[in-house]
């Protein structure tokens, strides 16, 4: 199957400061819903008090869920927003580093408790992306 390609235009840019105690994933999704952002590119950096992430096993098509209760910094974060079940859905991967230089990370899950995180949401307009279950991968894809 060939790659699927969409073309979009740049929309609004939102710059956020998430505060101590916020849930990183839930807060970005809530703000996208409030601003009626349906498709976006998301980046973030800062620090969390708790990290929650997963790894998707291609066989047996399921996530292994992990968490770190250490205080960590977000060293890498890339994500997008599209629609799933009628609401904005954030798909993001992040890398978190600890005081000893060790890293953990993966597919962002609910439960990342913010210490302070700066987020940029770049809206994309002119297209609709809706996630539906892909039978080949077992993932909710466009």
**Site residues for Zn ion per CB under 5 A:** 107
Helices assigned H by DSSP within the chain = 24-34
Kindly provide the b/e burial profile for residues 126-135, where b requires at least 16 CB atoms within 10 angstroms of the residue's own CB: eeebeeeeee
Q: How far is the CB of 136 from Zn ion (least distance, A)?
A: 16
Q: Which residues are registered as beta bridge partners of 106?
A: 94
Q: How far is the CB of 123 from Zn ion (least distance, A)?
A: 21
Closer Cβ to Zn ion, 50 or 107, answer by number: 107
Which residues, 6 or more positions from 3, have their beta carbon under 8 angstroms from its beta carbon?
A: none
Closer Cβ to Zn ion, 107 or 122, answer by number: 107
Closer Cβ to Zn ion, 38 or 107, answer by number: 107
Torsion of the alpha carbons at 34, 37, 40 and 42, rounded to the nearest 10: -10
Q: How far is the CB of 93 from Zn ion (least distance, A)?
A: 6
Q: How far is the CB of 32 from Zn ion (least distance, A)?
A: 17
Nearest residue to the partner Zn ion, using Cβ: 107
Closest CA to 53 of 95, 23, 18: 95
């Amino acid at each position: 199957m060939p790659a699927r390609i969409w073309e979009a235009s740049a929309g609004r840019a939102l710059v956020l400061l998430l505060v101590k105690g916020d849930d990183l994933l839930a807060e970005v999704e809530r703000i996208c819903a409030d601003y009626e952002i349906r498709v976006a590119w998301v980046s973030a950096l800062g620090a969390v008090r708790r990290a929650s992430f997963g790894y998707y096993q291609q066989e047996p098509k399921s996530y292994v869920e992990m968490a770190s209760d250490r205080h960590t910094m977000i060293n890498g974060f890339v994500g997008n927003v599209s629609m799933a079940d009628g609401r904005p859905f954030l798909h993001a991967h992040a890398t978190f580093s600890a005081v000893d230089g060790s890293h953990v990370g993966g597919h962002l899950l609910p439960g990342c408790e913010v210490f302070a995180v700066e987020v940029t949401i770049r809206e994309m307009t002119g297209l609709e992306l809706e996630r539906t279950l892909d039978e080949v991968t077992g993932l909710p894809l466009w």
